[in-house]
A and B are shown apart, each in its own frame.
Chain A
């Protein structure tokens, strides 16, 4: 596709720019490296909100109510016995997906 408003030499120019960017160094690969180039106090990483000091509240992974208990086998938090029976009956793959939503990326063994 060629548009009226585009520079006709852009395709060649883009490759040039890209190759130059790659040859400069690997500094543009991730955000951390991009920030380190100019050491000003106001950068992308410094304005990130810090982790919370309060203890995180625990909620049931399946129903969303407040959770008092934790299953040692599947590592899921649950609120009552009905949910516990449900947890114990479903396969481990779905337990892992529930854990992934909460941000736990550990793999369940056995």
Chain B
């Protein structure tokens, strides 16, 4: 750290500061240092901290998809506030300025064909806020190709494929002349691949929660571009698909091809389920609390019982006093016997005798009203008998089931499994219904609204709905049917599953097998299976319609931009940018392009894909210091002309400007 500080202090005023604005990372540093001094992610927290009243810059492991924003939109600088904070951070780390200004010439990067607004934001900030003496604007893709010498740079013929974080550029250069009309851009990049990877995995495993660093690590470690995508998919799908679809010739060359294609194998990652460890003391405390609660409950129950008893006794006394006044009242007698049964003074059979008191009396002695009562009592008596019989039968059945269980355990098990399957199906259907209830446009909800409308459309003159509390239960009855039924069937399922667990030792394995399928869908395992995900996320470079970007793939773009130009271009294809680090992208391009052209094709990856741009800037700034003033915009120019006119921008080998 001390060494670095000395480096900053010794830096004189005419040493240029180089800043490479990338969509994912910003690299900055003095031209004298070997590697970029400051490397930060270009994301800023949306919300201010309560302590420091300032926004935080994203760390390397913060989740960029939530609550963070970058100054870039589709590789264009759009948000000036976020950019200002990132610049502040950079200049503070570099210890660059004093007395209200940063007294260093500055070299910045921009993307191809930036809009005026993006340039305005950058220039205004640099000249007004930091009062920089001069700014040079160059294109990042062009700087990344610059080696040491400007003359060789101006004679080269190359096809640059710049794989950025949000965009991909294809740039043909012939004899040092950039052919601006043939530059093509694809609106996706490394961030899209990561997002696609994240979304697909999270959707297939809704019960697990993934963290950003986890996903980022898997994305870097396990994903790669498939050299033959269709064949790779079949390989993942299983041996049937892989060998079944081939014709005879390819079957003969199988061994050779497999070595060439570098087919990937699926990866299984176990995710441990984290459980809270409960100490013995906590358990003791919980037990004590429970016992205390139990004692309290018992006391309260006894008190309430005593209160009830005293109340009932009081009622009895009052009723008996009334009975003394008129002794022929039957209802009063009934009430008294009821109370006596409740208090336990008289056995239960006395009640029944009172209930069916007219059964044994002959018809001649009865009045017609009493005859009616007798008929009613007969029916009731028969029903009660039926109930008793049913209860007895049920008890016998249970005994039989126990016998059945002991004699033929296999059949009994089958019966239980069938029962379980039926209940599971019912629960699934109800779940579907419930989920449909949540969305307003579903057929179920529309039906419900229709029935409610019918209820409201009665031809009554006076609207007295809602006077009774019972009226509102119509609404409840419409919605609550499912809940209660669901609980009942769940309870049944629990009972059956417990029985099965007791009887069948390999019950769980059987259930897993019944759900199990080739794709492991809906199994809720604590395991992540990376099969197609390993190649699918990187495939969007070649098939952008996978994530809904309606543009050509990378191969078609190269074809289009090299159309009508020298074929030498195809022998000098160079991949730069962070996306060039992905595995297999070079082999894939080689394979696809050789099938399109009949000329030889050579592709290479830049020596340092990520920091190559900054290195190119450093080499240029160190070797051609005298040309820097010629290429850059000075503060006097800015004050005279302003950012509105084209005259202010200078044309140079790395520039973005066409006549």
Contacts and interface: CB of A to CB of B under 8 A. Distances in A.
B115 interface: yes
Contact of A83 (B519, B531, B549): B519
B115 A10 contact: no
B432 interface: yes
A89 B425 CA distance: 11
A7 interface: yes
Interface in A35-57: 35, 37-38, 40-44, 46-52, 54, 56-57
Given A43-B113, A44-B76, A103-B547, A82 B552 contact: no
Interface string A3-45: 1111110100110010001000000100100110110111110
A82 B543 contact: no
A97 B186 CA distance: 24
Give chain B's interface residue range (CB within 8 Å of chain A).
35 or more
Nearest to B446: A110
B88 A64 contact: no
B441 A6 contact: no
Contact of A48 (B54, B131, B187): B187
A98 B556 CA distance: 27
B99 interface: yes
Contacts of B560: 49-50
B518 interface: yes
Contacts of B521: 62-63, 82-83, 86
Contacts of A43: 113, 115
Residue picked from A7, A13, A63, most chain B C-beta under 10 Å: A63
A14 B545 CA distance: 41
Contacts of B143: none
Interface in A92-108: 92-94, 97-98, 101-104
A19 to B, nearest CB: 13
A35 B129 CA distance: 26
A13 B127 CA distance: 12
B117 A102 contact: no
B203 interface: yes
Given A31-B76, A56-B545, A82-B518, A49 B552 contact: yes
Interface in B426-447: 428, 432, 435-436, 439, 441-443
A71 interface: no
Nearest to B98: A4
Residue picked from B113, B114, B428, B443, most chain A C-beta under 10 Å: B113
Contacts of A63: 519, 521, 532
A57 B230 CA distance: 11
Binding site of A, secondary structure by majority: helix, strand, loop or mixed?
A: loop
Given A49-B560, A91-B435, A93-B439, A34 B116 contact: yes
A64 B102 contact: no
A52 B113 contact: no
Residue picked from B88, B96, B432, B521, most chain A C-beta under 10 Å: B521
Contacts of A109: 441
A35 B115 contact: yes
B185 to A, nearest CB: 5
Contact of B113 (A44, A49, A50, A101): A44
Given A6-B100, A41-B181, A57-B543, A82 B519 contact: yes
Nearest to A57: B543
Residue picked from A38, A64, A82, most chain B C-beta under 10 Å: A64
A89 B100 contact: no
A44 B552 contact: no
Interface residues of A, number: 55
B353 interface: no
Interface in B72-110: 74, 76, 80, 88, 91-92, 96-102
B313 interface: no
B551 A51 contact: yes
B556 A52 contact: yes
A1 B102 CA distance: 17
Residue picked from B129, B185, B186, B442, most chain A C-beta under 10 Å: B129
Contact of B557 (A7, A38, A49, A86): A49
A110 B435 CA distance: 12
A38 B598 CA distance: 41
A83 B518 CA distance: 10
B233 interface: yes
B115 A44 contact: yes
B213 interface: no
Contact of A91 (B186, B432, B551, B658): B432
Given A7-B100, A7-B129, A51 B88 contact: no
B180 A42 contact: yes
B131 A7 contact: yes
Interface string B174-187: 00000011011111
A59 B546 contact: yes
B470 to A, nearest CB: 34
Contacts of A52: 544-545, 550-553, 556
A65 B204 CA distance: 14
Contacts of A38: 116, 646
B130 interface: yes
Contacts of A5: 91-92, 96-98, 100-102, 130
B603 to A, nearest CB: 19
Contacts of A10: 128-129
A28 B80 CA distance: 13
Contacts of B102: 5
Contacts of A59: 536, 546
B199 interface: yes
A70 to B, nearest CB: 15
B317 interface: no
A49 B185 contact: yes
B533 interface: yes
A44 B114 contact: yes
Give 10 nearest A-B pairs by CB, closest first. Answer: A103-B548, A5-B97, A64-B532, A91-B435, A34-B115, A56-B545, A86-B521, A82-B517, A10-B129, A52-B552
17 contacts: A3-B88, A3-B97, A5-B91, A5-B98, A5-B130, A7-B100, A14-B129, A35-B115, A44-B115, A47-B113, A49-B186, A49-B552, A52-B545, A62-B519, A66-B233, A93-B435, A101-B196
Given A5-B102, A52-B551, 19 more contacts: A5-B91, A5-B97, A6-B100, A10-B128, A28-B116, A28-B117, A42-B658, A47-B112, A49-B551, A51-B550, A52-B553, A63-B519, A65-B532, A82-B518, A83-B519, A89-B432, A91-B432, A102-B548, A103-B548
Interface of A: 1, 3-8, 10, 13-14, 17, 21, 28, 31, 34-35, 37-38, 40-44, 46-52, 54, 56-57, 59, 62-66, 82-83, 86, 89, 91-94, 97-98, 101-104, 109-110
